[in-house]
Amino acid sequence: MSLDLSKWTRDWALMSSFFSAEEITEISERLKGLEVRNIVFCSFENRFARSGGLAAVTTNILPFLKEINAVPNVILMTPFYSTVDNGKLKSTGKTFKVPFNNKTVEVELYEYTWNYTTPRSGSLKEYYLKADGFFRTSENIRDPYVYNEYDKRVNDGLMIDNSLFFCKAAPLAMRALNISEDIVFHLQEWQTSLIALTSKEAMLSGTLKSCGTAQTMHNSYDSFIPWQSLIRINDGPLRQKISLFPGNGLTAYQIGLQLVDAPVTTVSEHFAVEFTSDILQTDYFAPHLQNIFRKSGVYGINNGMFMDLPPEFADADKLTVNDAQRIKLQKRKALLKILSAYKPAERFGDLTYKGRTITSLPQDVPVIAMSGRLDPLQKGYDVLLRALEKFEEDEIKVVLTPLAVRKPDLDYFYEVACKCRGNLTVFPVRMEKGYGELQSGATFGIMPSIYEPFGAAVEYMANGTVNIGRSTGGLIDQINSQCGFLYKEDAVFYTLGNVSTFVDTGDCVQMRKANPWVQSMADNLYDALRKAIHLYQKEPEEYFKLILNGLKKAGSFNWETGAKKYFQVYKKAPGL
């Protein structure tokens, strides 16, 4: 299915603020002659520095962008994080200088060669920008967005500095690589959004001959950019212009989205709709972007699967209900064995059955899993914890793997683990053993997301695990009644006031107990769990049909389709 871009119009509302009429004409002429021959995927996440789903996207889609669309050159442009360097990157021997904040900073290009076999055999380059004083993330957290885990204000300031530097450096890096024309910079998140500005400067200065930009928003997180900060990456007449701009500044997206050359995209079809229809986006996260969205639109392109179907599920169309039951039982036994033996120091909370080991847990007792980073604003771990408190001992067994940035975020997990002794165990670390078994051996995978651009429901489905998810964003694209369970809180409680209170209590989620929205989410999740468990225990054949349908549904999400749609987007940059 192709992407309908017939109603898209380019939003260059800020062009005349930054450039003269003559300069805009020159930029337009250069874009008209652009061919999509070099795709530069710009991302603050990469295979060595991961936070959310963006890293997984970078390590999946690039070969498809190249091979499916017959693009001569596709590369990744990303920061070199010295705190997460594992020795696999090699210096290219190429350096270049970046003017920044009245200084000249030398950047060295490192590279990684990716030899891939899907969709066909080939290779591409990943380039990592190394500069003294930049991209020094926290050594404790090792997250590409965490520079100071103790002071959010300091962290935000460092994030802005590093973003501005990267955006100034990216066009210069292309020149250092002797690639100066027919470039499309594919910008990921706000951190790279200002390349929509710096790439145009690069054309006017003669650094690059022709380059366009496309923007993908994996979420609506944004950052205010003071004019005084933006001045630091500009010189000459543009520097003088910016110094005279009214107000204090704009956000990265307010600037970038009104300079970008191609349609703005996000990573799922339904999340694109929510940008202009869901109160969380329209009234809380992105009210400042609504006029921009309504003018030129946001287009959803679903991610593909982040993993292949396991061998036992590879021929999903040929599997029977009995096959699914047999395989699932094997996976469950393997999981229970690991849960009984794998006890890293960080793990807390016991899993028992009638006070003893769960190795021989009866088959009718479901095992619930929830995995991923602990983001109190998005992932809904605390909503699930509230629902779990309602279950009696030995009704369910629950395994959570929250990756926390701050230790206090785990306080409520400890509280519920004590209350639900025997029912709940928590791995607040990356599991060295058993993560694969957890995904494939669990009865249900839970995704109680407050919002979800795409999500990992497909990952559960591909492993033969049934999803229970909140009806939001990409989860709506992935989960339906034939393969899982969706739930939603009562609409009367979904108000801006309740949302604001929810966000304000992110530092201490126990304070959310009185929030009617949270209570309704937890109540409806509990009801969905009860419904799912009843099906599993009383109608097992229907449960295993959900698994088979989920395998087929997972297979419908592929990078080939996404690559073709993104190429449609790229072709809009020169106005084709």
Domain CATH number, residue 200: 3.40.50.2000
- Residues 147-183 have pLDDT tens digits of 998 898 999 999 999 999 999 999 999 999 999 999 9
Q: Are residues 359 and 221 in the same domain?
A: no
Confidence of residue 476 (pLDDT cuts 50, 70, 90): very high
Amino acid at 560: E
- Tally of structural domains, the chain: 2
All residues at 6 or more sequence positions from 416 whose CB lies less than 8 Å from its CB, including other chains = 385, 388, 389, 424
Q: Are residues 283 and 429 in the same domain?
A: no
Mean pLDDT of all residues belonging to the chain: 95
* CA distances, 477 to each of 54, 554, 564 (Å): 18, 11, 19
Rounded CA separation 384/449 (Å): 10
The verdict on residue 9 lying in a domain is no
pLDDT surpassing 60 at residue 266: yes
Q: Are residues 358 and 241 in the same domain?
A: no
Q: Are residues 256 and 290 in the same domain?
A: yes
Q: What is the pLDDT of residue 535?
A: 98
The verdict on residue 575 lying in a domain is no
Q: What is the pLDDT of residue 457?
A: 94
Q: Are residues 467 and 565 in the same domain?
A: no
The verdict on residue 3 lying in a domain is no
The verdict on residue 576 lying in a domain is no
Q: What is the pLDDT of residue 406?
A: 80
Q: Are residues 196 and 103 in the same domain?
A: yes
Q: Are residues 566 and 509 in the same domain?
A: no
pLDDT surpassing 60 at residue 253: yes
Q: What is the pLDDT of residue 142?
A: 79
Q: Are residues 370 and 432 in the same domain?
A: yes
Q: Are residues 425 and 292 in the same domain?
A: no
- Residues 544-556 have pLDDT tens digits of 999 999 999 999 9
pLDDT surpassing 90 at residue 203: yes
Q: Are residues 457 and 488 in the same domain?
A: yes
The verdict on residue 2 lying in a domain is no
What share of the chain has pLDDT > 90, as a percent? Answer: 88
Confidence of residue 451 (pLDDT cuts 50, 70, 90): very high
Q: Are residues 56 and 161 in the same domain?
A: yes
Rounded CA separation 84/144 (Å): 9
Q: What is the pLDDT of residue 67?
A: 98
- Residues 372-389 have pLDDT tens digits of 889 999 999 999 999 999
The verdict on residue 162 lying in a domain is yes
Residue 486: which of 468, 508, 505 has the closest Cα? 468
User: Structural domain of residue 524, as residue ranges?
Assistant: 311-557
Q: Which region among 21-35, 197-211, 232-246 has the lowest average model confidence (pLDDT)?
A: 232-246
Q: What is the pLDDT of residue 576?
A: 57
SS3 breakdown of the chain: % helix, strand, coil, rounded to 5? Answer: 45, 20, 40
Asked if 266 contacts 576 with a C-beta cutoff of 8 angstroms, the reply is no
Q: Are residues 111 and 224 in the same domain?
A: yes
The verdict on residue 10 lying in a domain is no
Rounded CA separation 392/251 (Å): 48
* CA distances, 78 to each of 299, 329, 398 (Å): 24, 43, 37
The verdict on residue 447 lying in a domain is yes
- Residues 497-539 have pLDDT tens digits of 999 999 999 888 999 989 999 999 999 999 999 999 999 999 9
Bond before 119 cis per omega within 30 degrees: yes
Q: What is the pLDDT of residue 1?
A: 64
